[in-house]
Each structure stands twice: as structure tokens, then as C-alpha cells.
């Protein structure tokens, strides 16, 4: 049986990723720091990515936990989904928030690829990095997040070239997704939610399951020739010229 390791598994997209891979017959190993196991994960490991990005001992211990959780399955996919979004304009972003963003959103995914490279390579595996439309087009207050996502898109390309036939590395980049967290943020402002949906030419937000279904497909056929690629699930928003006049 093939296994997948999903980071940020307790969030809206993370839960959907676990459900999607589980439904496709994968053994799902989920990790997050929220101590809340997704309902369709076969195993859950409580881990903080900021620690894994900087602590070799913690990373080695995490690898042992993942290997034990495989329970005979073979690790064939790593989905780097976890991220933090710490907002702030350029003049006000603290060094702490900047460094935390880069450790979680960029350094941890890279370190996880290093850590599980041999396992993934042995199974002709794949890394799916979850990027964002913010890597291409952003807005005020997102300087840390947008920079980290632009970097994860760049990391995807660099790893694909560096690792060549050893391991496929792809990026999945959504626009706004109707996660429970996003919906809660608009609970008292239905008009703003409608406006956000209309900003996407497709006329709605993405559903978490759509992101998950794309990740499952990219991890296997018919995308086995794809590496270094970014798959945009943007609802057309990156094609739109917004003119408020």
C-alpha cells in the first residue's frame, strides 16, 4: 500500500487532503500541532513545523514516528500543506513574525523533503507543495506570506531540476478556498463574502475537496510526466485585471 504524509492536516484543506487520499486507497499519516486527528487519517503525529525546521534531533525523532506509522506501507507522497499567514505591512512586520513565516512555510517543507528523500525516491514518489495565488499576485499586508509562497514555488522548480528523475516535485496553487476558518471570518459579513466570490471570474470560492482531488490526481496518473510544474486552481482570478473605475 502507498502512504502519504500530509502536513497541516487539521485545517480545512488538510482535512480534505486526508479524506481525498484515504478515499483513493492511500494510508494517510497526518501531522499538525493542534492535537486534533483528522477523521480519515490512519495515523496522527503531533509536531510543530517551526521546531522541525530548526532542530535536527526533533526532525530525526519525527522521521522515526512517521516510519513507525507506516505500518508496512511505503511512503510515496509528501504533501507540504501547512502554512502560517501572519499579516502586516512592510514597515510593521516584526523580525519574529518574518522568521516564523519562513521557517514554517519554506524551511520546514525543504527539510521534510531532505528527510524523506530516500523513502520517496524508492517508491518513485512525489512531493506536492501547496502554494498560493499570492506567489503571483498579492495585496497590501501580505508581504511575509506572499514572499514565502513565491519562495515555495521557486523551491518546487529548483528541487525538480536538482533531483531530476529521482523524485517528482510539483506545486498546487489555489486562490480563496471555503475552509471553515475562512467562512468563520466572514460569518458576520455576507456581503463581503459575496464580493470575494465575485472577484473570481468563475463566480465562487474553491471547495477544500477540489484542492484535495487535484492533489490526489497529481500524485499519480495521468500526471507522472509533471515535475517542476505549478497547477493553478485560481478560479480565473490571476487572469483578471481589476479596475475599480
Catalytic residue annotation: 145
Cell numbers of 112, please?
521534510
DSSP letter, residue 207: P
User: Whose CA is closest to 7, among 147, 166, 127, 114?
Assistant: 127
Alpha-helical regions (H) of the chain: 12-23, 49-54, 56-70, 95-102, 108-122, 143-163, 180-185, 190-199, 208-218
CA torsion sign for 81, 131, 184, 103 is positive
What CA dihedral angle connects 191, 197, 203 and 207, to 10 degrees? Answer: -130
What's the number of CA atoms in the CB half-sphere (13 Å) around residue 33? 10
- Grid cell 484535495 is found at 212
Residue 175 is placed in which grid cell? Answer: 486562490
Grid coordinates belonging to 113: 523533503
Given 3-state DSSP classes, what are the helix, strand and coil percentages for the chain, each rounded to the nearest 5?
A: 50, 20, 35
| CA–CA distance, 184 with 173 (Å, rounded to integer) | 22
CA distance 227 to 165: 9
Amino acid at each position: 500500500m502507498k502512504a502519504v504524509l500530509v502536513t497541516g492536516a487539521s485545517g480545512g484543506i488538510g482535512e480534505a487532503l486526508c479524506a481525498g487520499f484515504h478515499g483513493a486507497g492511500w494510508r494517510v499519516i497526518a501531522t499538525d500541532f493542534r492535537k486534533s486527528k483528522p477523521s480519515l487519517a490512519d495515523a496522527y503525529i503531533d509536531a510543530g513545523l517551526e521546531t522541525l525546521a530548526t532542530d535536527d534531533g526533533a526532525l530525526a525523532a519525527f522521521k522515526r514516528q512517521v516510519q513507525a506509522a507506516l505500518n508496512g506501507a511505503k511512503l510515496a507522497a509528501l504533501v507540504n500543506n501547512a502554512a502560517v499567514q501572519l499579516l502586516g505591512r512592510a514597515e510593521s512586520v516584526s523580525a519574529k513574525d518574518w522568521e516564523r513565516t519562513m521557517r514554517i512555510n519554506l524551511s520546514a517543507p525543504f527539510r521534510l523533503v531532505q528527510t524523506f528523500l530516500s523513502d520517496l525516491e524508492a517508491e518513485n514518489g512525489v512531493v506536492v507543495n501547496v502554494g498560493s495565488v499570492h506567489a503571483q499576485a498579492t495585496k497590501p499586508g501580505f508581504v511575509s506570506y506572499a514572499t514565502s509562497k513565491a519562495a515555495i514555488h521557486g523551491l518546487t522548480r529548483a528541487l525538480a531540476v536538482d533531483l531530476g528523475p529521482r523524485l517528482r516535485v510539483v506545486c498546487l496553487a489555489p486562490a480563496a478556498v471555503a475552509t471553515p476558518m475562512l467562512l468563520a471570518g466572514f460569518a458576520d459579513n455576507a456581503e463581503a463574502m459575496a464580493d470575494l466570490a465575485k472577484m473570481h471570474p468563475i463566480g465562487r470560492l474553491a471547495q477544500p475537496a477540489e484542492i484535495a482531488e487535484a492533489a490526489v490526481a497529481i500524485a499519480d496518473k495521468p500526471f507522472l510526466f509533471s515535475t517542476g510544474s505549478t497547477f493553478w486552481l485560481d478560479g480565473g482570478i490571476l487572469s483578471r485585471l481589476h479596475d475599480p473605475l
